[in-house]
């Protein structure tokens, strides 16, 4: 988790540095959008392939190779001459987008093998806490690193973080390497085994409400795209001379809320021996979406700070409950479910960014975020009705 947090710091640092570098290299804002689109498309494709790859290779080997590949492509960008910078940037967007998704799917899939079924919620909380702290550090230091030592130094730091993560993965003991259940030829498998071993939608259908849970995750990603795009606009409206102040403060408070939520989740797990479960994901999504809408409502700074903390805490709760719940699946279906989930999340965020960017030209940030997170709220209510109603209870309440 330390190695993952370090590489996450490099990723968030580079999110800022690479976007600025793309703009400086090409001189066109459209190029930044194209760079992000290629990255999201690569992540989308990797999500589709992740389940199949995890039935053929161990999660440890995939995590190791994805970190090496990302370090190598950053070295390529550092060494690329001026005439090949655009091609190197394209390679970076493809490799970082695809390998980032493959790493996350492999990590989440293999956590039960690393720590045991009873400690998966604790491990998920630990990883989310590390990523939240890395996000704050990465975003906060990006401007300083780029301004003081330049883009090349930022890329070297990012390359080094992937190398550190690769070393920690190489030293990591995982039972069986975290390899999923091998594929079975359909003609040779009994009907009940075929159903269990088929692709991700069948795996999701095996647990009540899980398919709807993944759909809600995709809609939540669409909502996330709205507040990510609207925050800079809203911040500029609040203080045109210092637009970065509100954005930085908001994300710092958001991360603090997420970290505090993980502490509560870990203590709850130690005290009760249970995870927050599917219901925590549904209620957390409702709270998170409502908080993000309120964040753009123009409340006084103190109230907005509290709202940012609540949004972060709810976001952290949904992340750990969602991940822990998918980890209740057997190894083979689990890998495919996480791969499908990553694809749905990338699709939701990508479509959302396109739609939101267009909507913000015509409507206020509050309106855009309200509609986007309003859809997530609606789907979350449907999900809660599904898992708590008579039909959900009759077919078996999702595992806690």
Q: What is the pLDDT of residues 341-375, one digit of tens each?
A: 888 888 888 888 778 877 887 888 899 999 999 99
Same fold, 1-180 and 189-389: yes
Q: How far apart are CA 306 and CA 303, in angstroms?
A: 5
Helix (H, G, I), strand (E, B) or coil at 207: coil
Q: Where are the domains of the chain?
A: 1-180, 189-389
Answer yes or no: CATH 1.10.10.60 is held by domain 1-180. no
Q: What is the pLDDT of residues 242-293, one digit of tens each?
A: 666 777 788 888 888 888 888 887 777 777 766 677 788 889 999 999 999 9
Q: Which CATH architecture has domain 189-389?
A: Up-down Bundle (1.20)
CA angle 169, 62, 211 (to 5 degrees): 110
Q: How confident is the model at residue 188 (pLDDT cuts 50, 70, 90)?
A: very low
Q: What is the pLDDT of residues 62-109, one digit of tens each?
A: 999 999 999 999 999 999 888 788 888 889 989 999 999 999 999 988
CA angle 284, 287, 289 (to 5 degrees): 105
C-alpha distances in angstroms, 354 versus 69, 240, 289, 357? 29, 24, 20, 5
């Amino acid at each position: 988790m330390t190695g993952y947090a370090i590489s996450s710091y490099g990723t968030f640092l580079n999110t800022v540095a690479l976007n600025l570098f793309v703009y400086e290299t090409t001189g066109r804002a459209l190029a930044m959008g194209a760079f992000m689109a290629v990255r999201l498309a690569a992540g989308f494709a990797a999500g589709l392939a992740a389940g199949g790859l995890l039935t053929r290779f161990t999660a440890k080997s995939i995590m190791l190779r994805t970190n090496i590949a990302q370090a190598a492509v950053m070295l390529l960008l550092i060494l690329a001459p001026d005439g090949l910078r655009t091609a190197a940037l394209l390679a970076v967007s493809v490799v970082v987008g695809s390998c980032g998704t493959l790493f996350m799917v492999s990590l989440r899939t293999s956590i039960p093998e690393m720590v045991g079924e009873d400690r998966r919620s604790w491990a998920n909380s630990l990883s989310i806490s590390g990523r939240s702290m890395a996000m704050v550090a990465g975003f906060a230091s990006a401007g300083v690193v780029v301004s003081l030592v330049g883009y090349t130094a930022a890329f070297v730091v990012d390359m080094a973080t992937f190398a550190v993560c690769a070393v920690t993965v190489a030293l990591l003991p995982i039972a069986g390497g975290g390899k999923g259940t091998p594929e079975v030829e359909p003609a040779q498998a009994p009907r009940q085994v075929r159903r269990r071993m088929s692709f991700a939608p069948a795996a999701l259908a095996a647990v009540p409400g899980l398919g709807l849970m993944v759909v809600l995750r995709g809609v939540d990603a669409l909502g996330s795209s709205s507040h990510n795009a609207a925050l800079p606009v809203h911040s500029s409206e609040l203080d045109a001379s210092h637009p970065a102040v509100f954005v930085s403060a908001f994300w710092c408070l958001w991360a603090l809320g997420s970290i505090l939520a993980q502490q509560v989740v870990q203590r709850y797990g130690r005290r009760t021996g249970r995870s927050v479960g599917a219901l925590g994901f549904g209620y957390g999504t409702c709270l998170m979406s409502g908080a993000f809408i309120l964040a753009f409502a123009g409340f006084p700074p103190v109230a907005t700070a509290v709202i940012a903390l609540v949004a972060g805490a709810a976001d952290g709760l949904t992340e750990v409950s969602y991940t822990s719940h998918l980890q209740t699946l057997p190894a083979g279906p689990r890998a495919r479910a996480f791969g499908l989930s990553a694809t749905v999340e990338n699709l939701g965020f990508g479509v959302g960014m396109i739609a939101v960017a267009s909507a913000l030209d015509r409507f206020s940030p509050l309106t855009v975020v309200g509609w986007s997170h309003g859809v997530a709220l609606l789907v979350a209510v449907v999900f809660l009705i599904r898992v708590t109603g008579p039909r959900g209870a009759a077919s078996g309440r999702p595992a806690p």
